Amino acid sequence: MAAANGKHWVMLVAGSKTWDNYRHQADVCHAYQIVHQNGIPDEQIVVMMYDDIANNDHNPTPGKIINNPNGPNVYTGVPKDYTGGDVTPENFLAALKGEPKKNCLKKVLRSGRNDTIFIYLSDHGSTGLFCFPNSTLYAHDLIETIKEMARGNKFSKMVIYMESCHSGSMFTQLPNDIHVYAVTAARGDQSSYACYLDPERNTYLADEFSAFWMYYTESSNLDKVTFRDQFSYLQGNMKNSTPCCFGDETTGKNPISGFLRNTPKVIQESTKAQKLVLTHLTHAHEVSSKILDHKIETETHAGRKQVLIKKRETLHQTKAKIERTVKAISQRCLPASEVEDISGGAFRSGSRMDLLALKTVAEHFRTTCFDWHKEEFQMALSHTHVFARLCAHGVEVERIIEAITAVSSLPTEHHP
């Protein structure tokens, strides 16, 4: 925990935008309410969120965001430290290090050797990457930044919680000797899960991992429980994905209050009384299609229904195109007998990745073939494991880059 004269710093990041991704900003707003009610001052909290949900045209309660059915407004008082186009990996890493970009007057962490840092991120992810609204945070850059901060004595201890698919792949190379402990929503080869499909809002309100860790935090005496205790609770209650922990186990044995202060007793008691029952648990990769299906089912106007059906057909065609493209890239890198083994399934959680090589290849694929930050290509995210496998298989980065470039220049009908 922080030294007697140390401060508690908190960084909360929602990496997505658009109404379909409502839950990520709702998660972060709820996390803010927790640390705020625990007494951490706003000057020690940095919030990054696109802020296109509370006053969205689809919101039946303008100016309000909820994180569970009929729940309280979690948008109240949330600081607007970084919004819109300022929600970027570059600004996140700069704010984390306490080194704002040139001419930037926005809030950053001013942490020092006696301070603790708690980081929570929620969005989409894939093998070795976490998404921001229009760009990507790669595991390589995150791990290098953490190591740089450790060398610079920017904290005494750090805890990171990440809600995203394949989030376990972000921390496989986190050192275990720099007092940093990370907990993820899923293994490196798993999806995370959304929950609470709201029929009025036609979107999901929360995520499974986040709902559980926040419930535990609000219902517990944080002076008496540790992050390892909370991790055991997550392991015992999450039924769809497997939470994982990385880094320094001794940091995980610290009381949670050493980072988040303690939850007021009245809130502990009221939270326990509510219980926690998650509904509509949905594989994160299926969320957009489930929402679209619900729109089609409930749309009564014939013309608008046909537009939605056409959109669904287009998304299916795009998915098939992405799959053909990735397979064609693999075929240019490997013998035919090895292509199916590379393409099938997800990158194994325990496999060793060259993080810089993965970043180089994945970013070339994103900028050359399918930009997964665009709604129609978001499903391309789930295929980055193929590039991780190619790198792990010993295929040179230059060869993969050449294959991506060559396939991207071919007419779609020429893809195998």
Q: Which residues are catalytic?
A: 124, 165
Residues belonging to the chain: 416
Q: Exposed, middle or buried: residue 317 (CB in 10 Å: 0-12, 13-18, 19+)?
A: exposed
The total of other beta-carbon atoms located within 10 Å of residue 302's CB is 7
**Side chain identity, residue 83:** T
Cα torsion at 119, 125, 128, 132 (round to 10°)?
Answer: -60
3-state secondary structure of 117: strand
Q: Which helix (H) or strand (E) holds 9?
A: strand 8-14
Alpha helices in 106-182 (DSSP H): 139-151
Find out whether 22 and 53 touch, Cβ atoms under 8 Å. Answer: yes
C-alpha neighbours within 13 Å on the C-beta side of residue 233: 19
The first and second tokens of residue 24, run together, are 């990520």
Characterize the bridge pairing of strands 116-122 and 157-163: parallel
- Alpha-carbon distances, residue 135 vs 145, 182, 326, 372 (angstroms): 17, 23, 21, 9
Crossing angle for the helix pair 208-219 and 265-274, to the nearest 10 degrees:
130
The total of other beta-carbon atoms located within 10 Å of residue 209's CB is 27
The first and second tokens of residue 348, run together, are 């194994």
* Nearest-angstrom CA–CA distance, 25 and 321: 31
